[in-house]
Chain A
C-alpha cells in the first residue's frame, strides 16, 4: 500500500507539472476549490473574532509585570479596543478598496475578500470571486493602495487562486525611477531580488519600482521599493527590494479585469491572447 501511494504521488506530481497544472489535475483542483470555497468562506467569517482576539493578546506581551487582576482587566479592555481597531481598520481598508484609483482608469476592477491561504510553503491564497464575477486566469491583483500583489492562476465560478509575486519562482518586469527596466524575483518571503541588466545608473534606497507594462501586468502599477542602494557592476545591478503589499495582512484585494492582447490593448473578461501557462503563473518573467 505504501509503495502504491508513494508511486501514485510521484506520478501525480509529474503529470501535474507536465500538464502545466492544467488537464485532469487542474479540473480536480477547480472542482475541489469550488466545493471547499463556500465552507472556507463560512469558516473564515466564524473565526475572524478569534483571530482578532489572538492579535489583541499578542499585542499585550509588555504588560506581564502588572498584577493579575489589573492584567486581566487590561487584557479584556485591550481586546475590546483591538477588536474595534480591527473593525475600523477593516472599514478603512474597504473604503480604500472601493475608492482605489488606478494609473489606467479604463481598467475595470472587482473587489474581493481573502478567504483562505496555502500552508507555510505555499504563499498562494484564495479569494471569494470567480468566473461568475467576470474573473479569468491571468487577471492582475492589487491591494487597497493599488500595489501589485500577484495574478490569478486558477478560477472557479465562485473563487479564484492568486499566486503572489513573492513566490520563489515569481518574476515581474519593472521600471525603476532611473527609467531602466529590470526584474524583481520572488524569494518566498517579504524580500524580493531586483535585477537590472544592462544597467548604467545606480539605484538608491526607497526608489520606487513600477510594472513596466508587459503581457502579464499593465504598466505603472507600484510593485516594490529598493531596500539597498547599488551601483552597476559589470553592467549589472542586483539588490534587494521590499514589496509594497503586505502579504501577511491581506484581507481584501482588488482584481484588475485586464488581460493582454497582441494589439497591445487590454481585453476584459477574456483569456489572454498570449497565454501564460497556469502552472507558470507568477513563475515566468513577464513579457521578457
Chain B
C-alpha cells in the first residue's frame, strides 16, 4: 500500500507539473492561473505520513524550480513547508467539507505568500509585481474550485480502508 501510495503521489505530482507548465500557462483568468502543483501537494499530503509528504513537496517544488528560471530551491522550500503544514493540520481540517475547503484556501494562500516573501528575499522582487495581491487572493480561490475534483480523487486512491467514510 505504501509503495502504491508513493507511486501514485509521484505520478500525480508529475502530472500536476506538466499541466501547470502547459495547460495553465495558457488558461489564465484575470491574468492568474491556479497553482495545481501546490494543490496536488496539499491533497496528497493529507493522505500520507509526514516523511513522504514533505519529500513529495520538496520533489514537486524542485521540479518546478528546474523547469523555470527562479532560484533553484524556492518552490522546493515552499512546497516542503506547505506539505508539513498540511500533515500537521489535517486532523483539524478533515472534519467536514467546509473545513476541508477552508484548508485548501488557507494553505494555498500561505504557499503563495511564502513564494512572494522568500522570492523577494532571494532577489525575485515579487512584491514589485502590481498583480501580487490579486494573485494572493485569486490563486487560493481557483485552487478551491479545483479541490472539489482533486480531493475526492486523491482520497479515492489513497484513502485506504477509510476512503468510503471520507467524502473529500
Contacts and interface: CB of A to CB of B under 8 A. Distances in A.
Interface of A: 1-2, 5-6, 8-13, 15-17, 21, 25, 28-29, 32-33, 36, 39-40, 43-44, 47, 50-51, 54, 58, 114-122, 124-126, 153-154, 161, 163, 168-169, 187-189, 191, 248
A5 B70 contact: no
Contacts, number: 157
Given A121-B129, A168-B125, A51 B27 contact: yes
B72 A12 contact: yes
Contacts of B27: 51, 54
Interface residues of B, number: 59
Interface stretch (B73-81, B93-101, B145-153): B73-81
B70 to A, nearest CB: 5
Nearest to B74: A13
B3 interface: no
A13 B18 CA distance: 23
A39 B23 CA distance: 13
A189 B129 contact: yes
Given A39-B18, A188-B128, A121 B71 contact: no
A67 to B, nearest CB: 26
A266 to B, nearest CB: 25
A121 B116 contact: yes
B146 to A, nearest CB: 14
B22 A40 contact: yes
Given A29-B66, A121-B115, A121-B129, 4 more contacts: A12-B65, A16-B72, A58-B29, A118-B67
